[in-house]
Amino acid sequence: MKQNEQVPISLQDFTAGLWKENPVFVMMLGLCPVLAVTNTVENALGMGIATLFVLVCSNALVSALRHFIPKQVRITTYIVIIATFVTLVDYIIQAISLDLYNKLGAFIQLIVVNCLILGRAEAFASKNSFGRSVVSATGMGLGFTLALIMLGGVRELLGAGQLLGYPVFSDQFEPWVVMILPPGGFIVLGCWLLLINYVKQRRSTSAIKQELAASHCTVPQRH
């Protein structure tokens, strides 16, 4: 625990959560809201911002209190801290937009059991300085929001022919209703994962090929 105290804040803390360790596509954390509320971009954005807020606030508090929380009851303490911020968000969203609140439904309160938040509190915030925890949580939260929007965009575009409520295609377009329904969520996430795996695999094979080509070129020179 001690050796992490002196590490300064770096850009890497921030960017890791955005893509390299993206909570949804790489770590597969917090999948329930990812699939449940991404039938439109608007819902996805609302959910993403709510999660970002809870993630940053709870990780900041956990990190600030990390020397005072006894080890035996830490998980319970984290859950109570998270539940407090979720209750806050719940009331704030009700005050700002009742329409969004009704669309997201119980999933705002279910942020409490989003494994991403508890996971980051346990794995990062409880071991690192306040500044680093806030920066890392912001990166993770933005990565989560990005993933939600990537799913919501595809589902809204194909399922309703709209983007953020504006029609994209002409009237002849027949919406793929299944994309808005539950199966669409699973299938779109599956397709994104397949695409990401494909890109990763191509990159690694092209890296190997380059290495082979480079070594092949050097071989004749040695003779």
Partner 1 sequence: MNPESLSFIFLSAFLINNFVLAMFLGLCPFVGVSAKRDTAFNMSLATAFVMFISSLCAYGINWILTSYQLEFLRLISYIAIIASAVQLVEMVLKKFSPTLFRALGIFLPLITTNCAILGVALFQTARQYDFFQSIAFSLGAGAGFALAIMLMAGLREKLELSKLPNITQAAALSMMLAGILSMTFMGFAGLGGQI
Q: Which residues bind partner 1 (CB under 8 A)?
A: 28-29, 31-33, 35-36, 76, 79-80, 83-84, 86-87, 90-91, 105-106, 109-110, 112-115, 118, 178, 181-187, 189-191, 193-194, 197-198, 201
Find, among 141, 175, 195, 170, the residue nearest to 39 by Cα. 175
Residue 154 to residues 43, 90, 128, Cα–Cα distance (Å): 13, 27, 37
**Minimum CB separation from partner 1 for residue 57, in Å?**
15
- Considering the complex, state which of residue 9 and residue 100 has its C-beta at the smaller distance from partner 1: 100
**Minimum CB separation from partner 1 for residue 37, in Å?**
9
The 3-state DSSP composition of the chain as helix, strand, coil percent (nearest 5) reads 75, 0, 20
- Considering the complex, state which of residue 18 and residue 24 has its C-beta at the smaller distance from partner 1: 24
Contacts 24+ apart (CB under 8 A), 177-182: 179/154, 179/155, 180/39, 180/155, 180/156, 182/35
**Minimum CB separation from partner 1 for residue 54, in Å?**
12
- Considering the complex, state which of residue 14 and residue 144 has its C-beta at the smaller distance from partner 1: 144
- Considering the complex, state which of residue 123 and residue 168 has its C-beta at the smaller distance from partner 1: 123
**Minimum CB separation from partner 1 for residue 100, in Å?**
16
What is the distance between the alpha carbons of residues 183 and 181, in angstroms, rounded to a whole number? 6
